């Protein structure tokens, strides 16, 4: 390995698995919950309040021997837009990309409209992402739009 | 989702209809107007489930079923049904779909009809879901416009009254996107057309102008004057309500210089926003408009059952 910045050393410590980087420090445990990491029985390292040139302070999570599908990680875009996902194979970064908003979000998010059917029936919510840049969702049922700042997770 | 293959075509929102489908449904409605009594639905059972009472809409749908020769089951007020005992909407729909070939439902919750259409093995017609959608009302508005103007294209449509909360005027914008209208929005400041709908107009190249007063001059170029109620409950500022409450009333003398083809529509019920003496003016069309609902609903019911 030629380059060796601090963060890459952290990454390099993993032989195979996933590194979720550039998590805002106050969202680290939301990421743990959203990905259901407490149900993954593999070595997991959680770091918070680490210094970052770009962000001032950041969190990082490393999960050994486990990979996520795009739809699993895309929901992280609901809590922070610039989270970076690294896939590690044989101590090397095999893939690295910033997660993006999916076109559709099923479950996870609660509709903000108290008169929406989803808040009264035992059913899952569904939203179309109508504006990926500003983070605007539209409920598939009541058609009300909610912005990412006012999102409540289920 | 329980239902993968529904036996017909649900109608939940007008947004899902193409221009061709809208025109085709209107054409069928005009056929039903010529001959409203047909035994097409002989042997069919239609359920009208009104979780929220709406006598006007229910009578119109039930008359349509009767004139088509079908049978009706259902309820007109949820307080007499098991949903007050805590039964879920899903359970009610699954139960009723065992008996009926089509479910026409009105519900106070938004998105209820969409959800019902996802789980029901029989088609659903949305007869209103809270403040959200009421597609049969919009279809009868379109039918009335087409019938009185001879066309839907290139019309000057004036929407008056509560443009903020008025479900019918919002659906009108969405439905007219195929027909190059010019809109005029006439509303008190507190009840102006919301930005999201003005953006919709821009996206679909529909011209619109805003007015804060209803006057003779403002409506001179109108082909359609669509009146709605200005309700006191909608105002946060009661001073504003007192100031505007009498200024959004249409009076007969305002109509003297209007175009001869102008027709006045109103989704009804009316309170005082159209003066009674306009009722005999040939430009008044709101009662015929309500009657048109019957023919439109006959077309929507047959379409939902794949019987057109
Ligand atoms: Zn909703």
Residues of A in contact with B133 (CB under 8 A): 143
The structure tokens listed for A120 are: 């009264």
Domain that holds residue A54: 14-98
The structure tokens listed for B153 are: 């294209």
A1 domain-assigned: no
The structure tokens listed for A62 are: 């490393």
Residues of B in contact with A115 (CB under 8 A): 108-110, 130-131
**Contact yes or no for B109 and A116 at CB 8 A:** yes
Of B28, B48, B57, B258, the active-site residue reads B57
Q: What are residue B104's DSSP bridge partners?
A: B48, B125
A52 domain-assigned: yes
Q: What are residue A126's DSSP bridge partners?
A: A106
Establish if A130 touches chain B: CB-CB under 8 angstroms.
no
Establish if A134 touches chain B: CB-CB under 8 angstroms.
no
Cα(B227) to centroid of ligand 1, in Å?
29
| pLDDT reading at B291 higher than 90 | yes
| pLDDT reading at B256 higher than 90 | yes
When pLDDT is cut at 50, 70 and 90, the band that residue A112 belongs to is very high
Share of chain B above pLDDT 90, in %: 84
What pLDDT was estimated at residue A74? 83
What pLDDT was estimated at residue B7? 78
A111 and A67: one domain? no
Sequence ranges of the domains in chain B: 14-133+293-304, 136-290
A119 domain-assigned: yes
A5 domain-assigned: no
Length of chain A: 154
pLDDT, average across residues B79-94: 79
Higher pLDDT, B167 or B138: B138
A24 and A74: one domain? yes
What pLDDT was estimated at residue A1? 45
A87 and A115: one domain? no
Of A98, A121, A144, the position where a domain reaches its end is A98
Cα(B110) to centroid of ligand 1, in Å?
7
What pLDDT was estimated at residue A12? 52
pLDDT, average across residues B146-163: 97
Helix (H/G/I), strand (E/B), else coil: B226: strand
Q: Which region among A31-40, A75-84, A128-137, B98-107 has the lowest average model confidence (pLDDT)?
A: A75-84
Residues of A in contact with B89 (CB under 8 A): 117, 120-121
pLDDT, average across residues B256-267: 97
| pLDDT reading at A10 higher than 60 | no
Cα(A120) to centroid of ligand 1, in Å?
10
Q: What is the CA radius of gyration of chain B?
A: 20
| Spatial contact of B216 and B186, defined as CB atoms under 8 Å apart | no
Q: How many domains does chain A have?
A: 2
A91 and A113: one domain? no
Establish if B165 touches chain A: CB-CB under 8 angstroms.
no
A61 and A123: one domain? no
Higher pLDDT, A125 or B236: A125
Establish if B238 touches chain A: CB-CB under 8 angstroms.
no
The structure tokens listed for B265 are: 């529509």
ipTM of model = 0.89
| pLDDT reading at A3 higher than 70 | no
| pLDDT reading at B96 higher than 60 | yes
**CATH code: domain of residue A114:** 2.30.30.20
A40 and A84: one domain? yes
Q: What is the mean pLDDT of chain B?
A: 94
What pLDDT was estimated at residue B80? 62
* Cα B55 to the center of its chain, rounded Å: 14
A89 and A140: one domain? no
A83 domain-assigned: yes
Cα(B112) to centroid of ligand 1, in Å?
10
- CATH architecture classification, B14-133+293-304: 3-Layer(aba) Sandwich (3.40)
Taking only the tens place, the pLDDT of each residue in A65-80 is: 999 988 788 888 888 7
Residues of B in contact with A141 (CB under 8 A): 110-112, 114-115
A125 domain-assigned: yes
Q: Are strands B45-50 and B102-107 parallel, antiparallel or unpaired?
A: parallel
CA-CA distance, B149 to B70, in Å (whole number)? 33
A80 and A56: one domain? yes
To the nearest whole Å, the CA of B267 is away from the closest chain A CA by 22
Q: What is the mean pLDDT of chain A?
A: 87
Taking only the tens place, the pLDDT of each residue in B60-70 is: 999 999 999 99
Assess whether B177 carries a catalytic annotation: no
A50 and A92: one domain? yes
| pLDDT reading at A113 higher than 70 | yes
Cα(B137) to centroid of ligand 1, in Å?
22
* pTM of the entire predicted model: 0.87
Question: Given A115, A117, A145, which is nearest B115 (Cβ)?
Answer: A117
Assess whether B92 carries a catalytic annotation: no
Question: CATH topology for B136-290?
Answer: Rossmann fold (3.40.50)
| pLDDT reading at A124 higher than 80 | yes
What pLDDT was estimated at residue A2? 47
Share of chain B above pLDDT 70, in %: 96
Interface of B with A in 195-224 (CB under 8 A): 196
A4 domain-assigned: no
A131 domain-assigned: yes
Buried b (16+ CB within 10 A) or exposed e, B171-209: bbbbbbbbbebebbbbbbeebbbeeebbebbeeeebebe
Buried b (16+ CB within 10 A) or exposed e, A30-61: bbbebbebeeeeeebebebebebeeeeebbbb
To the nearest whole Å, the CA of B241 is away from the closest chain A CA by 26
A39 and A93: one domain? yes
| pLDDT reading at B168 higher than 70 | yes
When pLDDT is cut at 50, 70 and 90, the band that residue B123 belongs to is very high
What pLDDT was estimated at residue A77? 86
A138 and A67: one domain? no
């Amino acid at each position: 390995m030629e380059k060796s910045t601090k963060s890459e050393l952290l990454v390099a410590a993993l032989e195979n698995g996933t590194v979720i980087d550039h998590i805002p420090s106050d969202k680290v445990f939301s990421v743990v919950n959203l990905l259901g990491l407490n149900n993954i029985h593999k070595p997991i390292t959680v770091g918070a309040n680490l210094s970052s040139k770009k962000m001032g302070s950041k969190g990082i999570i490393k999960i050994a021997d486990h990979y996520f599908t795009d739809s699993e990680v895309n929901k992280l875009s609901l809590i922070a837009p610039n989270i970076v996902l690294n896939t590690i194979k044989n101590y090397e970064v095999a893939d690295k990309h910033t997660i993006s908003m999916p076109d559709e979000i099923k479950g996870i998010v609660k509709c903000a409209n108290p008169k929406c059917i989803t808040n009264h029936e035992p059913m899952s919510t569904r939203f179309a992402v109508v504006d990926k840049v500003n983070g605007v969702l539209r409920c598939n049922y009541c058609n009300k739009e909610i912005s990412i700042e006012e999102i409540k997770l289920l | 989702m329980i239902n993968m293959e529904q036996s017909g075509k649900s109608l939940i929102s007008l947004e899902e209809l193409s221009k061709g489908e809208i025109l085709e449904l209107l054409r069928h409605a005009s056929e039903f107007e010529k001959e409203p009594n047909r035994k097409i639905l002989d042997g069919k059972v239609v359920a009208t489930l009104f979780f929220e009472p709406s006598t006007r809409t229910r009578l119109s749908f039930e008359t349509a079923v009767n004139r088509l020769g079908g049978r009706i089951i259902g309820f007109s007020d949820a307080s007499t049904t098991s949903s007050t005992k805590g039964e879920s909407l899903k359970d009610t729909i699954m139960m009723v779909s065992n008996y009926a070939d089509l479910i026409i439902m009105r519900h106070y919750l938004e998105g209820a009809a969409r959800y019902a259409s996802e789980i029901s093995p029989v088609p659903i017609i949305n007869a209103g879901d809270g403040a959200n959608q009421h597609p049969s009302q919009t279809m009868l508005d379109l039918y009335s416009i087409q019938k009185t103007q001879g066309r839907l294209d290139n019309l000057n449509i004036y929407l008056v009254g509560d443009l903020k909360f008025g479900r019918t005027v919002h659906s009108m914008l969405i439905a007219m996107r195929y027909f190059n209208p010019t809109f005029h929005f006439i509303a008190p400041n507190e009840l102006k057309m919301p930005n999201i709908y003005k953006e919709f107009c821009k996206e679909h190249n529909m011209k619109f102008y805003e007015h804060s007063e209803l006057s003779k001059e403002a409506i001179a170029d109108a082909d359609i004057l669509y009146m709605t109620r200005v309700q006191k409950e909608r105002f946060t500022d009661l001073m504003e309500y007192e100031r505007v409450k009498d200024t959004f009333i249409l009076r007969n003398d305002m109509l003297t210089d209007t175009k001869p083809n102008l027709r006045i529509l109103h989704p009804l019920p009316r309170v005082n926003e159209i003066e009674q003496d306009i009722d005999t003016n040939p430009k008044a069309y709101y009662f015929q408009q309500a009657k048109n609902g019957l023919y439109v609903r006959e077309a929507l019911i047959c379409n939902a059952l794949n019987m057109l």
